[in-house]
Chains A and B, each alone.
Chain A
């Protein structure tokens, strides 16, 4: 796997190579090749190179540190709004509510939105509005769910003015759906690995 140092964060990033073959787009990290398109088995040596990009290696704690300022800013807003709505939160454990809020906030910040806002609601949820490129995303995370049958999070999104299917369920599943929406390089299709090489 080819690595390069990010000049701003000094983090090591892995390099992806982007190719095209007809209507099929291919991305290779070296050990793994992903294909999306009509040709499920492109002959790699005949591909046209488009560009290189980089991506974060997993479990890079310094990546979280780079958005500490944003995290602190939003956390302060959460606390200020909570104080105004405290009567609606009744017997809810503040530490639990804050911990749950921090979980969704940190995951959303990792997506590097263009704009992010939050509103705490009287029904014990935090309502995030996230703008990224052509996407407008509204995600509501219920911070004190007592009934396992209840939705923990709800997601609705727009691609420009087109409304996309919504999703509701566990927070982790909802965030997973959000990542599919934001990072599907061919809109409406999903990446699927075709080849994986071991060292």
Chain B
């Protein structure tokens, strides 16, 4: 299997900062049956494994990165070589099949429209220790995937995942809960219709 070179960083690429509202974000799940039979919504355990992941949720932007690319799984060697952040125009060697990556057909996915997450602000102003938080979809390219993004949350004091532990724990529980709820509400497990991002937004 050849690695899809189109999803690698490229010397001609730049950081993406345009409006992504009408685009979809996708994240892999290790199971196929992730919907609750009663509600039809994604079970919270399949949104992300641990509360800490909700602070900085790794996803990919659908477009050049296709649903099929969800099947790519880095090996332990591959993780050490390609599992780190990089610049958009980083020069990266093409990963080698079975050495750096493998195909895992047991990987499935959920996808969510960016607009639905961006509009779902977190508001705890009616509670003790009040705060509000806004979703920030940040382009965070990695050596294995230029189209890697991070769903992060910014409150008035800054990015909450950078807080000291005491305050971080309380905010973490609340934001983690809201993230799971929002994803469960809006995510879908069927492949959405998606288009590639205009080249002007990611090429120099």
Contacts and interface: CB of A to CB of B under 8 A. Distances in A.
B181 interface: yes
Contacts of B128: 168-169
Contact of A161 (B43, B116, B181): B116
Interface stretch (A27-35, A90-98, A111-119): A111-119
A20 to B, nearest CB: 30
A127 B122 CA distance: 18
A121 B86 CA distance: 34
Contacts of B21: none
B182 interface: yes
Contact of A140 (B36, B119, B121, B177): B177
Given A121-B45, A140-B177, A115 B39 contact: yes
A57 B38 CA distance: 30
B32 interface: no
A24 interface: no
A40 interface: no
A63 interface: no
Contacts of A129: 36, 39, 41, 44, 184
A131 B39 contact: yes
Contacts of A68: none
Nearest to B116: A161
Interface of A: 115-117, 119, 121-123, 127, 129, 131, 136, 138, 140, 149-151, 154, 156, 158, 161, 163, 165-169, 177
A165 B123 contact: yes
Contacts of A117: 36, 38-39
Contact of A154 (B120, B123, B174): B174
Nearest to A130: B39
B124 interface: yes
A14 B125 CA distance: 36
B126 A136 contact: no
A119 B38 CA distance: 12
A138 B173 contact: no
10 contacts: A117-B36, A117-B39, A119-B45, A129-B41, A131-B39, A151-B174, A154-B173, A158-B185, A166-B124, A166-B127
A117 B39 CA distance: 7
Interface string B102-127: 00000000000000100111111111
Nearest to B121: A163
B154 interface: no
Contacts of A163: 119-121, 182
B118 to A, nearest CB: 11
Interface string B15-50: 000000000000000000000101101011100001
B51 interface: yes
Most chain B beta carbons < 10 A, residue from A127, A129, A150, A177:
A129
A1 to B, nearest CB: 33
A149 B128 CA distance: 10
Nearest to A140: B177
